[in-house]
Amino acid sequence: MITLAERLQKLPPYLFVDLRQKMAAAKEKGVDVISLGIGDPDYPTPDAIVNTLCNAIQDTEDPDRHRYGCDNPVADFPQAVKEFYKKRFGVPLSDEQIVTTFGSKDAIVKLALGILNPGDVGIAASPGYPTYNIGHVFASATTYYAPLLRENNFFVDFDAIPDDVKRLAKVLWINYPNNPTTAVADLDFFKRAIAFGHENNILIAHDNAYSENTYDGYISPSILQVDGAAEVAVEFFSLSKAFNMTGWRLGFVVGNENVVNAVKKVKDNIDNGSLRALQFSGAKALSLAHEITPKLNSIYQERRDMVVDALRKSGWNIEKPKATMYVWAPVPEKFNGSSRDFATALLDEVGVVITPGLGYGQWSEGYFRISLTYPNNVIEKAIERIQNFST
Ligand SMILES: *Cc1c(COP(=O)(O)O)cnc(C)c1O
C-alpha cells in the first residue's frame, strides 16, 4: 500500500463536505433543494473580455500564443495592473512589485511556500478564507488564529495577539472587504496593520478579493495606500470576483519586492505561467473596470436588498453590507447559536442550503452566510422558504 504524506492528514475537513452529503441525502428523499451556499458569480464573463481571449488564442500573427506564459509574458498585463492601481487606488507600482498569478487561492499557498520555514507561525484572521491555514500546513508551519469579533467591527485586535506569537510569526493574513463577515476596513485600520507589521517584522498579506464588489457608493481602499506599506505588505488582487472570471484563474500579487520575488521563484519552479491569451484578457478586464464594475454591482445590490429586506421582515436585525457578494446573519435564537443545527434544519425542512458559520472556524459560530451569486428568481424562492421556515 502506498502511504500518503502526513500533511494531508493535517488539512482540516473541507468546509462543504458535510453539507454536500446532507444535500445529496435530502435530494434522495425528494426534497427540491435550492443552494445559496457557494460564492461563484452566476453571470458570465463580460463579452469584451471573452472576445479578447478568442482573438488572442486565434491570432496566427502571434507565434507565441500557445507557449509557456512565463517565457512569453504579455507586457500589457503588468501595464494594465499599474494603470489600474494608479487610477483606482492612487498607488504607483514598479514592474518589480508585480507578479501575475493563477488567481489568489494558488498564490496564497505559493507565498507561504516562499516565505515560511518548518515550525514558523502564520497568523490568520478568523473567520476567514481557509487557504491561509492550508498554505501554512503545506509549508510545515503552524497557524495562530486572531479572532474577528463583532465588538471590534470584525477588525483584528493587534493588542490581543500574544507576545510569543508576535515573535514567531512571519505573516499576518487579512481580508477586507471580508469573506464571510462582509466587514469593510478603512485606511485607519490598514495603517494600524502596517504599523503592526513594522513593529514586529511581520509581513502583512492583504487578500483584496472583493475591493470592486461594493455598494451604495462605498469605495474600498488598498492597503498599499498607506505610507511605507510596500516595506512590509503585499496585496493579492483577483479577477475572479471583480470580473466574473473565477474559472479563468487570473490575478496578481503586488507590493513588497522581496516577497513578490519569492512568489515568482516558487511559480518559476512549479507552474510556468499563464497563457498569453489570458494575460491579454486580464489587461482588457482591468482597463474596462470602470465600465464593468458598476453594472455587476447593481445586480448584487438588488439581490442584497431583496435578501436583507426579507430577513428584516422576518425579524432579523441586520445591516446591509457595503461590500462582498454575501449576507452574514445570526442564526435564529431557537437554535441556541448552532449554525450547523440551523443549516441542517433549513435543508431538511424547506430544502434551502446556506453556509454555516462554523465552517469558517469557531469564531463565526452562531452565524450563517447567504451568497448572492444566484439568479434573482432562485434567491427569491429561497428567501420565501426561509421566511416560511422561521415564522
Ligand atoms: C474567492 C476568494 C478568493 C479566491 O479567489 P481566486 O482568485 O479565484 O483564487 C480568495 N480570497 C477570498 C477571501 C475569497 O473569497
CA distance 104 to 369: 21
Q: Which atom of ligand 1 is nearest to the CA of 239?
A: 7
For residue 368, the SS3 value is strand
- Residue 60: phi and psi, rounded to 5, are -65, -10
Classify 141 in phi/psi space as left (phi over 0), alpha (psi -120 to 50) or beta.
Answer: beta
Give the whole-angstrom CA distance, residue 161 versus residue 278.
Answer: 41
Supply the DSSP symbol for 38: -
- Distance CA(18)–CA(32), nearest Å, equals 18
Q: Which residues line ligand 1 (CB under 6 A)?
A: 39, 103-105, 129, 175, 179, 207, 209, 238, 240-241, 246, 251
Q: How is residue 94 written as a grid cell?
A: 514598479
Cell of 296: 455587476
Strand arrangement, sheet containing 355-356: 326-330, 367-371, 355-356
- Residue 101 CA: which ligand 1 atom is closest? 7
Whose CA is closest to 16, among 358, 334, 262? 358
What's the rounded Cα separation, in Å, for the pair 385 and 280? 44
Atom in ligand 1 nearest the alpha carbon of residue 129: 13
Distance of CA 326 from the midpoint of ligand 1 (Å): 13
Residue of 105, 126, 237, 278 with the most ligand 1 atoms within 8 Å of its CB, for mutation: 105
Q: How far is the C-alpha of 194 from the C-alpha of 176, rounded, in Å?
A: 14
Q: What is the pLDDT along the chain (391 residues), one digit of tens a residue?
A: 999 999 999 888 765 677 788 888 888 888 889 999 989 999 999 999 999 999 999 999 999 999 999 999 999 999 999 999 999 999 999 999 999 999 999 999 999 999 999 999 999 999 999 999 999 999 999 999 999 999 999 999 999 999 999 999 999 999 999 999 999 999 999 999 999 999 999 999 999 999 999 999 999 999 999 999 999 999 999 999 999 999 999 999 999 999 999 999 999 999 999 999 999 999 999 999 999 999 999 999 999 999 999 999 999 999 999 999 999 999 999 999 999 999 999 998 999 999 999 988 889 999 999 999 999 999 999 999 998 886 5
Atom of ligand 1 nearest to the CA of 246: 8
What 8-state DSSP symbol labels residue 315? T
Say how many Å lie between the CA of residue 104 and the centre of ligand 1: 6
Between the alpha carbon of residue 210 and those of residues 118, 143, 377, the distances in Å are 31, 24, 24
Indicate left, alpha or beta for 30 from its phi (over 0: left) and psi (-120 to 50: alpha).
left
